[in-house]
Amino acid sequence: MDIVRLGKFIGALHRRFQTAMNHELALPDINASNANFLLYIGENNRVTAKEITTELAINKGLVSREMTRLEAGGYITRLPDDTDHRITWISVTPQGLTACETIRQIKQSLWDQVLDDTTDADLETVFTQLATWSEKAKQFDQTK
């Protein structure tokens, strides 16, 4: 197997989905990048920017800029921790939850188009393997 091609396929899938999401999204201040951030916040309400950075493998500068955009759009709130001023909690707003539902619907529609002839068993196998590889790849975060 040509492992370089595997990486190419994964990268191309990601970029194509980002492009398609940007075309489909009609929410103010939401793009394909911060849509993923918003989904993560919506699923894990009350998170820190560091958690987002770590879990989504995104640099902290981009996370900070996109949190500012999402907050200005009314999708999230950022509140300092009462006991530790170094921590800022990020929470989704009701408007953010509504946007999350729209984003999920768009993502589902796009994946339905790509996976239309994929069996549930094959999909489960791919999902499990990607999750395993993702966990193993977290070791690269330690080498920074």
pLDDT tens column, 56-113: 989 999 999 999 999 999 999 999 999 998 999 999 999 999 999 999 999 999 999 9
Distance CA 79, CA 91 (A): 8
Contact present, 32 and 22 (Cβ < 8 Å): yes
Q: How remote is the C-alpha of 9 from its chain's centroid?
A: 19
pLDDT of residue 71: 96
Picking from 29, 38, 37, 39, the residue whose alpha carbon sits closest to that of residue 53 is 37
> Which domains, and CATH codes, for the chain?
16-118 (1.10.10.10)
The continuous run of DSSP H or E covering 114 comes out as: helix 94-114
Confidence of residue 144 (pLDDT cuts 50, 70, 90): low
pLDDT of residue 11: 93
Picking from 3, 4, 22, the residue whose alpha carbon sits closest to that of residue 14 is 22
Average pLDDT, the chain: 93
Structure tokens at 73: 């759009």
Confidence of residue 23 (pLDDT cuts 50, 70, 90): very high
Contact present, 54 and 141 (Cβ < 8 Å): yes
